């Protein structure tokens, strides 16, 4: 039993070069128990992190089907390593926690260095059906496949969960690879690697999407990838940063929404891996109810506003390294059943951001008239700020892809944050798509603020953004209008003095003031415009 101390890896892991395509006839591998004996050069690789309660049992069970077991202990703070050695595994011990990706690849490379014919990767938490090792390993040992994935969804009865369909769609659409059979469970980490696959583990990955990155890499290089149905479904591990990373996240700002929060969370959860609730200083049971139904909850000590909640949402999404984020209201106005529509559009429309619009494809007839007028005014103001023409710029029901999540960093804490997001999307040249949604306006207590006051507040914030981003038109246009008005007014005053002999003192002074004010605005616009150009130039340099 070997114990090895290794240095911390670089941020970008170099992983293999291989390619996979499905079995030539597109069929699944059918395995009998006799097809695989324990002595055919098969090694089990088990990445582990604080799994002392389960790792011994997993090793003992796995030893029935493999020649040797390699455990890579990723800096555990419990007795995982000691128990693994006692159970008969060879242990590679990392003294610093580096992440599951590095531990897995290190174990696979170690197995390859030992000259094995195949390696099976399974979790140390006991969630994988260990007795299925013989099923997933048979294909790589026989040479029928280079990688075999243990799938939970090939033969499932009823509908495959939406998150799995979405991940499969992303895998297919992003690589545009012609395969006869889609990968039904691309995030499964219960896998068997053949010798050819082990020789080609040198490719780029950010470490957070290793399962899909391996599939993409192998498929692009012509290796054979197959799936085997597992005999039972495993439950997700408790630590999303280690065993079950969150790829699709639904998030909702919430302030005193105890009446609707549970229903909204439950409805959205069907389409995502996890639901995040930002409890923005609620004085009721919003946060407690959200936690009770299984959501991740970020608590704000005081009510800080919609923009502050969005800041927390994007920060958490980046922390979790999610691939897709959907933001919706917690008050029941947005239909959580439409979450899937926005997510699908991210892939099918090749978009970075998808906006749920109340005005496309004949929508909007049920919206109160005064709200329509206010929305259109804000749409026009947002367009003046430099945003592409969007039918519903104020919609809070949106989906964001990975590029958008990484690019958006908000500073405002008010309701104008939605427009600020669009401005940053435009600045980063991200692609926007719109899909129709339905919004309910018959729910009581959805807004604690007068809609007119609320609209004027948002408009003033947008005007402020326009002034900051486009100072020349923001200050120059009003300045030019004042200059022309003041000049014409002064001209009329002096004309009256010359023709009638009457001098209008008040009008003359007022016109002069307007004229000077207009000149100052134009000068301010020119100076601020130069500063904006200068700062943008510095940002490009750095």
Bigger pLDDT: 103 vs 473: 103
The yes-or-no answer to whether 13-229 and 248-468 have a common fold is: yes
Where in the chain are the domains? 13-229, 248-468, 471-541
Bigger pLDDT: 36 vs 315: 315
- Distances 343 to 115, 337, 402, 472 between C-alpha atoms, Å: 44, 11, 12, 38
Element (H, E) at 325: strand 324-327
Least confidently predicted of 249-258, 264-273, 350-359, 448-457: 448-457
Average per-residue pLDDT for the chain: 80
Most confident of 73-87, 216-230, 387-401, 509-523: 73-87
In sequence order, the β-bridge partners of residue 371 are none
The per-residue pLDDT for 31 is 45
Residue among 227, 74, 92, 210 at smallest CA distance from 146: 227
Q: Which residues contact 538 (CB under 8 A, 6 or more apart)?
A: none
CA angle 68, 72, 77 (to 5 degrees): 135
Please give the average per-residue pLDDT across 144-165, as a whole number. 80
Please give the average per-residue pLDDT across 477-505, as a whole number. 86
Query: For 173-207, what is each residue's pLDDT tens digit?
Result: 655 454 445 788 888 889 999 999 999 998 888 77
The per-residue pLDDT for 2 is 44
Helix, strand, coil shares, percent, the chain, to 5: 45, 15, 40
Place of tokens 């939970």: 152
Are the C-beta atoms of residues 103 and 47 closer than 8 Å to each other?
Answer: yes
Query: For 344-388, what is each residue's pLDDT tens digit?
Result: 999 889 899 999 988 887 665 666 665 666 666 666 666 655 566
- Distances 124 to 187, 227, 297 between C-alpha atoms, Å: 17, 21, 28
pLDDT surpasses 70 at 1: no
Burial pattern 446-481, b for ≥16 Cβ within 10 A else e, equals beeeeeeeebeebbebbeebbbebbbbebbbeebbe
User: Can you state the angle between helices 417-427 and 451-469, rounded to 10 degrees?
Assistant: 30
- Tokens representing residue 482 in the block: 């004042």
Compute the distance between CA of residue 230 and CA of residue 237 in angstroms, rounded to an integer: 17
Burial class for 274, CB neighbours closer than 10 Å (0-12, 13-18, 19+): buried
Residue ranges of the alpha helices (H) in 176-209? 195-198
Compute the distance between CA of residue 122 and CA of residue 130 in angstroms, rounded to an integer: 8
pLDDT surpasses 60 at 280: yes
The per-residue pLDDT for 17 is 33
Q: Which residues contact 225 (CB under 8 A, 6 or more apart)?
A: 20, 21, 22, 145, 146, 147, 148, 149, 183, 215, 218, 219
The per-residue pLDDT for 26 is 44
Burial pattern 108-137, b for ≥16 Cβ within 10 A else e, equals bbbbbeeebbbbbbbbbbbbbbbebbbbbb
Report the SS3 class of residue 321: coil
Quote the pTM value.
0.68
Compute the distance between CA of residue 81 and CA of residue 103 in angstroms, rounded to an integer: 13
13-229, CATH topology level:
Spore Coat Polysaccharide Biosynthesis Protein SpsA; Chain A (3.90.550)
Residue among 245, 301, 198, 253 at smallest CA distance from 101: 245
Architecture of the CATH domain 248-468: Alpha-Beta Complex (3.90)
Query: For 37-60, what is each residue's pLDDT tens digit?
Result: 444 689 999 999 999 999 999 999
Phi, psi dihedrals of residue 252, rounded to the nearest 5°: -150, 125
Compute the distance between CA of residue 93 and CA of residue 20 in angstroms, rounded to an integer: 31
């Amino acid at each position: 039993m070997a114990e090895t101390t290794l240095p911390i890896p670089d941020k970008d892991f170099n992983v293999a070069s291989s390619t996979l395509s499905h079995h030539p006839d597109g069929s699944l591998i059918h395995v009998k128990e006799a097809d695989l004996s324990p002595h055919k050069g098969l090694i089990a690789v088990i990445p582990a992190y604080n799994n002392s309660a389960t790792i011994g049992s997993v090793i003992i069970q796995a030893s029935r089907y493999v020649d040797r077991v390699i455990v890579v202990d990723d800096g555990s703070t419990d007795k995982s390593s000691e128990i693994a050695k006692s159970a008969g595994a060879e242990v590679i011990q990392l003294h610093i926690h580096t992440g599951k990706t590095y531990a897995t690849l290190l174990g696979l490379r170690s197995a390859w260095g030992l000259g094995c014919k195949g390696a099976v990767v399974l979790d140390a938490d006991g969630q994988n059906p260990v007795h299925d090792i013989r099923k997933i390993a048979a294909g790589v040992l026989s040479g029928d496949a280079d990688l075999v994935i243990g799938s939970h969804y090939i033969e499932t009865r009823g509908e495959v969960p939406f998150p799995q369909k979405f991940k499969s769609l992303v895998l297919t659409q992003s690589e545009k690879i012609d395969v006869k059979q889609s990968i039904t469970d691309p995030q499964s980490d219960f896998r068997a690697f053949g010798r050819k696959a082990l020789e080609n583990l040198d490719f780029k990955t950010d470490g957070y999407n290793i399962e899909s990155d391996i599939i993409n890499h192998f498929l692009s290089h012509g290796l054979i990838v197959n799936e085997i149905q597992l005999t039972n479904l495993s439950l997700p591990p408790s630590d999303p940063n280690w065993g079950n990373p969150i790829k699709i996240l639904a998030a909702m700002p919430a302030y005193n929404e105890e009446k609707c929060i549970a229903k909204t969370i439950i409805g959205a959860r069907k389409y995502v891996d996890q639901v995040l609730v930002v409890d923005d200083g609620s004085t009721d049971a919003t946060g407690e109810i959200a936690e009770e139904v299984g959501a991740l909850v970020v608590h704000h000590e005081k009510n800080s506003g919609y923009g502050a909640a969005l800041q927390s949402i994007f920060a958490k999404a980046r922390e979790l390294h999610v691939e897709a984020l959907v933001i919706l209201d917690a008050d029941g106005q947005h239909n959580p059943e439409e979450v899937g529509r926005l997510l699908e559009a991210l892939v099918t429309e090749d978009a970075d951001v998808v906006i749920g619009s109340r005005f496309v494809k004949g929508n909007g007839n049920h919206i109160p008239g005064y709200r329509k007028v206010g929305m259109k005014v804000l749409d026009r103001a947002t367009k003046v700020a430099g945003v592409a023409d969007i039918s519903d710029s104020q919609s809070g029901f949106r989906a964001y892809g990975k590029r958008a999540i990484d690019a958006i960093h908000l500073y405002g804490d008010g309701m104008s944050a939605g427009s600020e997001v669009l401005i940053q999307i435009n600045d980063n040249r991200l692609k926007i798509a719109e899909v129709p949604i339905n919004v309910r306006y018959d729910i009581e207590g959805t807004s604690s603020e007068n809609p007119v006051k609320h609209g004027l507040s948002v408009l003033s914030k947008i005007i402020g953004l326009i002034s900051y981003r486009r100072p020349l038109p923001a200050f120059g246009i009003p300045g030019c209008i004042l200059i022309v008005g003041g000049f014409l007014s002064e001209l009329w005053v002096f004309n009256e003095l010359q023709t009638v002999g009457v001098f209008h003192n008040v009008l003359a002074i007022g016109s002069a003031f307007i004229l000077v004010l207009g000149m100052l605005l134009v000068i301010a616009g020119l100076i601020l415009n130069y500063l904006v150009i200068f700062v943008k130039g510095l940002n490009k340099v750095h």
